[in-house]
A and B are shown apart, each in its own frame.
Chain A
Amino acid sequence: MNELFLILAVVLLLNTTVGLVRILSGPHPADRMLAAEMFSTSAVVIMLLLAFATDRPPLVDVALVFALLSALAVVTFVSRAWSALKPTTDTDDHDGGNR
């Protein structure tokens, strides 16, 4: 059983790391943010799987803190976007304004 959960944790970590390519490729800041969001969900799951695979109940608390704070990053990102809102910018790759 523990091996199963560890295998799943490795699979998920690999999966998420591959997904992080979206941070590189963008093109819009929202896409990069999505990659971070995906990582934070996966981090919750990996933490839970680790908690059960290695039999450490305190890790469930760490996962709880992850879950609680996952909204914070998105909301900050969105507030940053609204504070510097400039329409008709498709990408942050080529113009200097949105970096």
Chain B
Amino acid sequence: MDWLAHTFDGLLGLALLWLAWQAMHAPGLFRSVVSYMVFGLVMALIWVRLEAPDIALAEAAIGAGATGALLLSALARLKDGSDAGRLHWRHPAELVFWLPFAAVTALVLGLTAWQLPAPGLGVDVARTLGQSGVDNPVTAVLLNFRSFDTLLEIGVLLVGVVAIWSLGPAPSPIVPKMPSPALPALGRALFPVFVLAATYLLWRGSHAPGGAFQAGAVMGAGGILMVLAGARPWLTGEEQGPWRWLLSLGLVAMLAVAVAMAALAGTFFAYPPALAAPLILALEISAALSIALLMFAVYLCGRPPDHWEAED
């Protein structure tokens, strides 16, 4: 049993390193992108082996799904498809610097990891889990004990979308017309499943691996698939429009809760234990909605128009 698990882990590690090398140094960007997509799948398997199913879920949705779609679409927009700006080993002499540098960095990181306190904070989290309002320790940490981090993460996503929208209008059409009758059918068949899976993951977040980020990522990837299948996106970019409010809903809700708690109890983000469960649920729903829309908005590669033209 033990040696089997070790063989499995060793294989996974080797595959990961090989794919990482391919993603960086394969000739041709397309090969790199495909390697990187497989890298995401291997990474999800590794997270599972590291007993982190929550991260594996997020990695499966983001790394294997949305990132691949983003990178491939970006590749399609490169005009000449050239490898300009790509990292190459220009001179073997550079290795004289980089190899020792990498070795020292790995050594320092390894030593630091070695010196981390052994049981970590798991014991404390388990002890206070009863007051957090949820049964899943990961959700408790994300939305109660360390809500501040989650606030900043959602903020980063929102800033990313703002930056992308400010680069210019979304290209039109977003996807080329593909002559396949199967594609719209695929979109229609899968959309309900995406909604179902995202809702399920969101609901599970309170007591098992799952939660706002996973649900949002799955739904965002679902939206990307729908657009690729020929659906017209509803997301519009008009100022003061409803979509801008929905995009920032997660951040606004978290900030509102944090400030309200600060006014009531005197501490930023300190929920009273009685209110913790409903507050976390409300935050999860708003965050999941925002994350799904933000991931979708990123994919549009620019500010969507105020009104989508009806396609003929």
Residues of A within 8 A of B (CB): 2-3, 6-7, 9-10, 13-14, 17, 20, 23-24, 26, 29, 32-33, 35-36, 39-40, 43, 46-47, 50, 56, 58-59, 61-62, 64-66, 68-69, 71-73, 75-80, 82-85, 92-93, 96-99
Contacts and interface: CB of A to CB of B under 8 A. Distances in A.
B81 A97 contact: yes
B72 A80 contact: yes
Interface string B216-244: 00100110110011000000000000000
Interface in B157-187: 175-178, 180, 183, 186
Contacts, number: 175
What 7 A-B pairs have minimum CB-CB distances, sorted nearest first? A69-B65, A80-B76, A83-B176, A76-B69, A82-B176, A76-B72, A65-B60
Contacts of A80: 72-73, 75-76
B73 A99 contact: no
B209 A61 contact: yes
A69 B61 contact: yes
B212 interface: no
Given A23-B38, A69-B64, A73-B68, A92 B209 contact: no
B83 interface: yes
Interface of B: 1, 4-5, 7-8, 11-12, 14-15, 18-19, 22, 26, 28-31, 34-35, 37-38, 41-42, 44-45, 48-49, 53, 56-57, 60-61, 64-66, 68-69, 72-73, 75-77, 80-83, 175-178, 180, 183, 186, 190, 193-194, 197, 200-201, 204, 208-210, 214, 218, 221-222, 224-225, 228-229
Secondary structure class of chain B's binding surface, majority of residues? helix
Contacts of A73: 37, 64-65, 68-69, 72
A65 B31 CA distance: 24
Contacts of A58: 53, 208-210
12 contacts: A6-B5, A10-B7, A17-B14, A36-B37, A39-B38, A43-B42, A64-B197, A72-B228, A75-B228, A80-B76, A84-B76, A99-B81
Nearest to A80: B76
A72 B81 contact: no
Select the residue from B15, B72, B82, B209 with max chain A CB neighbours within 10 A.
B72
B68 A71 contact: no
A79 B175 contact: yes
B190 A71 contact: yes
Contacts of A6: 1, 4-5, 8
A99 B29 contact: yes
Q: Which residue among A13, A65, A73 has the maximum number of chain B CB atoms within 10 Å of its CB?
A: A65
A68 B57 contact: no
B225 A66 contact: no
Contact of A83 (B4, B12, B69, B76): B76
A10 B11 contact: yes
B5 to A, nearest CB: 7
Contacts of A39: 38, 41
B81 A32 contact: no
A24 B224 CA distance: 28
Contacts of B193: 68
Nearest to B22: A23
B82 A62 contact: no
